[in-house]
Each structure stands twice: as C-alpha cells, then as structure tokens.
Amino acid sequence: MFPGKAVFTVDYRDPATTLVMRTAVDEAVQISPNVYLCLGLADVRGRAVKLLWFTLTRS
C-alpha cells in the first residue's frame, strides 16, 4: 500500500473490535514533515460517527 514506507495500521473494522460500517470516508492529514495520518471514518447521512481505522505513514 505504501511501498518503501514504515506503516502502522489499526483496523477497527475487525469484528472482534467493532461492528462493520457500511460507508467510510478516508481523510489524510500531514502531521509533520514526512508523517501522514490517514483516517477511515464511518459516515451516516453525511456525518462522521465512528473511527474505523487509522494509518500512520512515514517516509
């Protein structure tokens, strides 16, 4: 997914962790030079209601 990059992912879609949501919105934010936070947010009627996963990447 991110070739050559250090990646740490926690996936809240795992049934042992939470219920699976039908819709997700991906948002990526640069939190410092070369470090990005990507969020998977459950979307219900245009409103983010639950964190599904997050990924930290560093180049």
| 20-36 mean pLDDT | 69
Structure tokens given for 28: 């990526």
Domain ranges of the chain: 6-58
Q: Give the global pTM.
A: 0.45
List Cβ neighbours of 12 (8 Å cut-off, separation of 6 or more): 18, 40, 50, 51, 52, 53
Q: Are strands 35-44 and 47-58 parallel, antiparallel or unpaired?
A: antiparallel
Predicted local distance difference test score (pLDDT) of residue 32: 85
26/47: higher pLDDT: 47
Tokens 């990526």 -> residue: 28
Structure tokens given for 27: 């948002």
